[in-house]
Amino acid sequence: MLSSNARPPSSIAQLEKDFAAIIMNSRDGDGSGLTTSRTVTRHTFTFIDGSRLYITEELSGGIIDVSYYNWVDQDGEDILKFHSDPHERDNRYQTATEPHHVHPPEGARLTNRTRYPNFHHQELHTIMEHIFFFSYCCQKN
């Protein structure tokens, strides 16, 4: 593995402040029907364009063990999924940035690959910044 999660859980309160310009709603829970617990952070942000980010950070010893950040459009269709679950048992599913990888939406795949390397969008703040630039700055209304 080239990469490690070894970082503290994301600060939801700080993200709400830093990205207030694009967050319409913020709530506990990640779309699974479950809410935050001692060992899992679960949260959902709804953005000004109607898209949502489902946040799941599984914790171990006070640090992120595995993270799932699923960005979906207003209809619930995948935009991008930023995951860090390792696929150690099958090399065909590993990426150069294992365990970090991105799942594209079903209809936007360039090949039959379902996972792409994720060199830069591994932390939630960086992912939120990406969504900010895409949703707030790049979309024409």
Stronger pLDDT, 83 or 104, i.e. the higher one:
83
Q: Which structure tokens are listed for 87?
A: 């696929």
Give the global pTM: 0.83
Neighbours of 80 (CB within 10 A): 21
Query: Is 43 a residue whose pLDDT tops 50?
Result: yes
Choice between 98 and 46, residue whose per-residue pLDDT is larger = 46
Spatial separation of the C-alpha atoms in residues 39 and 61, rounded to whole Å: 9
Give the chain's mean pLDDT: 83
End-to-end CA distance of the chain: 42
